[in-house]
Amino acid sequence: MNQWLDERLHISRLNDKFLRKAFPVHHSFFLGEITLFSLIILILTGILLALSYEPSNSMVVNSFDPGTSDAPNLIPAAYHSTLKINAAPFGDMLRRIHHWTANIMVAASVIHMMRIYFTGAFKKPREINWWIGMLLLIFAALTAVTGYVLPYDNYAYNTLKVIYSIAASIPWVGEWVAQAAFAGKFPGDGVIPRVYGYHIMLLPGILLALTAAHMLIMIKQKHTQPQYAKRIAYKKIVGVPLMTQQTPIMLMLALLFAGIIVLFSAFIPVHPVEYFGPPTTTPIENIKPDWYLLWVFGVLAIIPGFEFNFLGGNINSEFVGAILLPTLTLGLMFAVPMLDRSRENLYYAENPTNHPVRLGLGVAFMMLLAVWSVAGYKPELISAGILTTENANTVLWIATFLVPALSYFFVQAVVRGIRALREADERDRTIHAAHADD
Amino acid sequence: MTRYKRQDPEITRRKFINVAMGTTAAVGGVSLLSTLGAANPVFRLTADKMPPLEGDILVHAEASKEGRPITIDDLSTQLVRAWPMGKDENGADVIRKGDPNNILALYRFPKGQLVAPTNLEATIDGEVVAYSDICTHAGCSVSDSDINAGQMRCPCHSGEYDPKRGAVVTGGPPPKPLAQLPIRRDGDRLVVTGFFLTPPYPYHNNEAEWNNLKREVEEALT
């Protein structure tokens, strides 16, 4: 059969180009693969969920609790179909797998990104892939947020309300943008079909296209080589070929990963739609976004309220906290490859301790996001008595500046220690080597 | 031998193709923009989407007793949520919950506790007061605070308001106080006597648009 296919499609040429691609042997190089596996699981479970989901926010009679003919119990069709999915065999399990995999995909891509940053793999010639990776991260988060809205329970409804008002807070064009994006004034009659279209067509399409570009560029430019490759064969690509050595490893990893997710989902429930109930005006206490957006939420919680008029546009704290500041933060991440001035192409992954400033700044940046995420728990911190209403904002703003600064200097101290140890080791080695020569 | 002289055409082939492609791209882009405009549906101001109006009666918003008129005895220093209920064009009762921003917060305080900047004229005997229940920050529905007794707190970003002092902001990010709704007593019922005294969310920073809406409502009613 191979020959039959080869005569028609020339797959042996594909073999030379792609299937022999060398994969470096190091555990940190599996993070991107886990992200890819997550995307595949998400698409598969997403297709199954879409088969039973009804994308509509018109009201239908709740078949589980119909009420009376005089006062029927009406709930949105989308929420009703979510209840039905939960009641179907393994329906709840599918939702859990989809939800957990989405979380793990973002987590894996963030750790993948940390590996790229700390080993300098974003440097020339791989800047383009860093930018594509950033876009992937942003669109993955957007896909997750739109997915949050689809069950259309009370939680989703309140989340959507906040998202709508964030979009509407853009000066000059905000109200129009929010209405165009969410099909009319909140909650528009077509809001669920609209978000559904984003979640299952537009955003996954963008994600798949970006993923394809990410992979092709990676194959073209090749992985950065781990340090051991330098010792084995200088300036040669070292690693195991995709076909057949890397493939079984990948398959094993994918299956193991899928198994862990199923195990997770079997024991840890997610987003109990029955508990939250259908959309009402009664708010959910301590509503929070997923962990990867908690930092934006934290900024909104501690930013003081203000608004002023600028050239006819209204600039308020919500716009600054939820759009301007995150844009600046993401812009900083986009700019990372441009901060590096080297003209040479990078072959080998760098040891982070040889670049203490980059390491320190990266850690400080992550600590900043961590402080803002903690600020997202402001009401809990206050009710636990750790902070008071009066001092909460002050303390959290001081921490915003102090914690990253301290962690920067802490990293410098640790790096100095590590280097001192390494130099001592080298001295020892030369002394011993000298002895051995005698 | 005649010398062949190349005659330059008025426009080169390359230039023609470039201009043609540019025009195509521009026309295509503009037509795509028009489909983007279609993404924003027309807003129709139906009776269930109008803001609370003069003559509306206040009814319970809680799911178990939704639509039942609120009496003064139902109210206390704990928040009670209400919808305005008016008439549609056929004269039938309609709860104005088509716009979720119409949700109201009602309180009844012992006499003397409600103080300025609450507009006492717009309360019932300086005891019962009605506010928009929508946080001026991100449009969430505000509840009683579980941290500071007697305050209101928004569950979304911890904005705080003081319901005894005209719902002024006492903490967090909201830019403006909650809008107060003028009410009076009519027998057992609570009746709205006019529009919100200040523009409510989401018009709190756009007085002109709020006035537009009021005019539209008045036109629709006559």
ipTM of the complex: 0.78
Range of the structural domain that residue B202 is part of: 47-221
Nearest alpha carbon to residue A287 among A274, A303, A278, A276 = A276
Please enumerate, as own/partner, the contacts of A429-438 that have beta carbons within 8 Å and a separation of 24 or more. Answer: none
Handedness of CA A21, A24, A28, A30 (dihedral sign): positive
pLDDT(A265) > 80: yes
Task: Note whether B90 and A268 are within 8 A (CB).
Answer: no
Here the tokens at position A39 are 């995307």
Q: How far apart are CA A286 and CA A9, in angstroms?
A: 58
**For residue A298, what are its two tokens?**
């934290």
Q: What are the domain boundaries of chain A?
A: 17-66+73-272, 351-438
Q: Is A15 an 8 Å CB contact of chain B?
A: no
Tokens representing A338 are 């441009």
Structure token digits, residue A171:
């000066």
CB B175 within 8 A of CB A317: yes
Q: Do A183 and B41 touch (CB under 8 A)?
A: yes
Q: Is A162's CB within 8 Å of B139's CB?
A: yes
A residues 64..123 contacting B (CB < 8 A)? none
Instruction: Encode pLDDT of B115-139 as tens digits.
Output: 888 888 888 888 899 999 998 888 8
Contact assessment for residue B58 and residue B130, using Cβ atoms and an 8 Å cutoff: yes
B28 within some domain: no
HSE, side-chain direction, 13 A CA sphere, residue B105: 29
Q: Does B212 touch chain A (CB under 8 A)?
A: no
Half-sphere exposure of A308 (CA within 13 A, CB side): 3
| pLDDT, mean over chain A | 89
Do residue B41 and residue A184 have CB atoms under 8 angstroms apart? Answer: yes
Q: Which residues contact A419 (CB under 8 A, 6 or more apart)?
A: A353
Query: B interface mutation test: which of A165, A293, A394 has the most B CBs within 10 A?
Result: A165
pLDDT tens track for A375-402: 999 888 888 888 887 788 889 999 999 9
Phi/psi of residue B43, each to 5°?
Answer: -95, 130
CB contact under 8 A, A317 and B173: yes
Q: What is the pLDDT of residues A107-156, one digit of tens each?
A: 999 999 999 999 999 988 899 999 999 999 999 999 999 999 999 999 99
Q: Does the distance separating the beta carbons of B39 and A181 come in below 8 Å?
A: yes
Question: Is 90 exceeded by the pLDDT of residue A208?
Answer: yes
Asked, as a colleague might, if the bond just before B202 is cis with ω within 30 of 0, I would say yes
Beta carbons of B155 and A175 less than 8 Å apart: no
Q: CA geometry: angle at A237 spanning A236 and A242, to 5°?
A: 155
Measured between CA atoms, how close is A301 to chain B, in angstroms? Answer: 5
> In the predicted model, what is the mean pLDDT of residues B45-58?
88
**CB distance A315 to A171 below 8 Å:** yes
How far does A282 lie from chain B, in Å, by closest CA?
Answer: 7
* Cis previous bond, A187, omega within 30: yes
A43-57: average pLDDT: 94
Q: Please tell me which of the candidates B43, B160, B173 has its beta carbon nearest to residue A304.
A: B173
Q: What is the DSSP letter of B111?
A: T
Judged by a CB distance cut-off of 8 A, whether residue B205 touches chain A is yes
Give the separation between CA A303 and CA A400, rounded to whole angstroms: 12
Contact A299, A321 (CB under 8 A): yes
A181 touching chain B per CB within 8 A: yes
Nearest to B100 among A187, A190, A285 (CB): A187
pLDDT at A381: 87
Q: Are the beta carbons of B156 and A316 separated by less than 8 Å?
A: no
What per-residue confidence (pLDDT) applies to A410?
97
A168 touches chain B (CB under 8 A): yes
Chain-chain contact of B40 with A179 (C-beta, under 8 angstroms): yes
Torsion of CA A166, A170, A176, A179, to 10 degrees: -10
Establish if B195 belongs to a structural domain.
Answer: yes
Mean pLDDT for chain B?
86
Q: Do B172 and A301 touch (CB under 8 A)?
A: yes
For the domain spanning A17-66+73-272, the CATH number is 1.20.810.10
Token duo for residue A427: 């001295």
Residues 6+ apart with CB under 8 A from B191: B55, B56, B57, B58, B183, B184, B185
What confidence score (pLDDT) does residue B187 get?
A: 85
Q: What pLDDT does residue B114 have? A: 86
CATH number at residue B184: 2.102.10.10
Query: Are the beta carbons of A168 and B81 separated by less than 8 Å?
Result: no
Record the pTM.
0.88
Say how far apart CA A338 and CA A124 lie, in whole Å: 9
- Tokens representing A264 are 């997770």
Average pLDDT for B58-67: 84
Residue A15 in this model has a pLDDT that exceeds 80: no
Question: Please, what is the Cα angle at A273 between A271 and A279, to 5 degrees?
Answer: 120
Residues 151-170 of B with CB under 8 A from A: 153-160, 169
**Distance in angstroms (rounded) separating the CA atoms of residues B79 and A77:** 31
Strands in B152-153's sheet, in edge-to-edge order, are B143-144, B152-153, B160-162, B168-171
> B41 vs chain A: nearest CA distance in angstroms?
6
**B172 interfacial to chain A (CB closer than 8 Å):** yes
Do A162 and B139 touch, CB atoms closer than 8 A? yes
Whether chain A has a CB inside 8 Å of the CB on B100: the answer is: yes
Would you state the pLDDT for residue B5?
66
Nearest CA in chain B to A176: B40
- Per DSSP, the three-state class of B95 is strand
The residue in chain A having the minimum alpha-carbon distance to the alpha carbon of residue B151 is A389
Cβ under 8 Å to A: B residues 16-75: 36-37, 39-41, 43, 49, 61-63
pLDDT given at position A42: 96
Tell me, yes or no, whether B1 lies in a domain: no
CA distances from A89 to A55, A94, A270 (A): 21, 10, 17
